[in-house]
Amino acid sequence: MHYIIDFITKIIRQFMAPLYKDDLMPVIRQGIFMSIIGGLLIGSLDFFIEKIFSMSLIWMMLFVFGILLAKRIRGAYRDYHILYAIISVFVIFLTFYFAYLVFYAGYYYINSEQWSGTITFWNYFKNFLNPLQYFQFLNFFSSSFYRVNNLLNVLFFLIVNIYVVRYIR
């Protein structure tokens, strides 16, 4: 019990540390830039590899992206603050979302002639921007959460986030 209280006290002290605007704004800019560019690149490469080789390498590409993101964010500030780690985890989520947006936009564009009679663009577009469907693998209330493939997805997602948070310090 004593360790839990010490851990919570340590986290509260890290949040109470001074936050410098000169450090915060470059971190936010780097995060937004990396999430958009990384999402576009990862989504298009994943779509290309999926169409050509029928396999997905999104987790390997996200891990490489996490390494690059951590280096850029670490170089954007002088004094560490715990908020930078929270921003980096949010950027990983945003990049994953953008990657799947690009992937499914390409999938819809390639297969739009086949779907012209069965599905309308508006029905597809309503679900297309919904972020909940892209993060369904994290929902431990779903029946497919404990499948091996989904557990591996969760494991790799956690590894990428933990690596980025550890490297940013």
- Give pLDDT tens digits for 21-31: 899 999 999 99
Band (pLDDT 50/70/90 cuts) for residue 34 is: very high
The domain ranges of the chain are 19-168
Report the alpha-carbon distance of residue 59 to residue 116 in Å, rounded: 32
Average pLDDT on 131-150 reads: 89
Average pLDDT on 107-119 reads: 66
Check pLDDT > 90 for residue 91.
yes
Check pLDDT > 80 for residue 116.
no
* Residue 79 contacts residue 63 (beta carbons within 8 Å): no
Write the CA distances from 37 to 52, 69, 83, integer angstroms.
23, 11, 22
H/E run at residue 156: helix 148-168
